[in-house]
Amino acid sequence: MPRFAANLTMLFNEAPFLDRFSLAAKAGFEGVEYLFPYEFEKMALRAALERNGLTQVLHNLPAGDWARGERGIAILPDRIDEFRRGVASAIDYATALDCKQVNCLVGIAPDGMPESALRTTLVANLRLAAAELGKHGIRLLIEPINRFDIPGFYLNTVEQAAAIIEEVGGDNLFIQYDLYHQQRTEGELIGTYKRHADRIAHIQLADNPGRNEPGTGEINYPFVFDALEAAGYEGWIGCEYKPRTTTAEGLGWLGAEQKRRQSADIIKIRS
């Protein structure tokens, strides 16, 4: 059975952020993820996790000035010191929250900057971050994002991410595989997963078009869940989608999936 984590940046937006933990637990989630923890006191976040019996599955490294449209700074040669400070902040929060993996949004390529300078900066930053996070038992992830949602984002494909991981070296850099971004970029959801399964440490979902909950678009999620399980995926699946109406009204897919899995298990037992 897949383990689903509620993305509290996207879900339960009807409530203040710290109240979303209890709403996620009441909805049946056992894990949570979100973009950034840094505007909250880390012990307040830890208390919310413990009070509701939740696992902190993932958060991101600091990604620059989000409100001004920045989506990561790992490729920027003039922001290396800021990136390194962000690594230290991520370690501080991840250790307090017992979070075992942190995602790095690599950034939007600035106009006029040579690609070689961006690549060299990114590889060096990832090499440092992976090593520092590894000292604390925390995995570093990088996420390919489709070019439509974030034009100019440097990392678009899983193949590109795999090549960067090869260049970085070491054993503590992995791929965050977002099925929505993959569908918009290339499709081939399961074939791509199988080709890179040894480097995929976390999966996220949303349907397409619209980035809404499963069952609202073109992705056959029951097939995808079964195929991922058959391929051996045992990690969390982060629910990073925008509810079409309210979060509660959009959770019917989760109940239906649980019932479908229970029925399949019963059939297996009887056979």
Residues known to be catalytic? 143, 240
- Can you tell me the distance from the alpha carbon of 219 to that of 237, in angstroms, rounded to the nearest whole number? 15
The residue written with tokens 């059939």 in the block is 267
What is the sign, positive or negative, of the torsion defined by CA atoms of 56, 15, 88, 114? positive
- Can you tell me the distance from the alpha carbon of 20 to that of 6, in angstroms, rounded to the nearest whole number? 9
The DSSP line for 31-65 is EEE-S--TTS-HHHHHHHHHHTT-EEEEEEPP-S-
Q: Retrieve residue 12's tokens.
A: 């339960």
Q: How many CB atoms lie within 10 A of CB 243?
A: 19
What does DSSP assign to residue 248? T
Residues in the chain: 271
Closest Cα to residue 11, out of 204, 220, 174, 226?
204
- Can you tell me the distance from the alpha carbon of 177 to that of 206, in angstroms, rounded to the nearest whole number? 12
Helix (H, G, I), strand (E, B) or coil at 208: coil
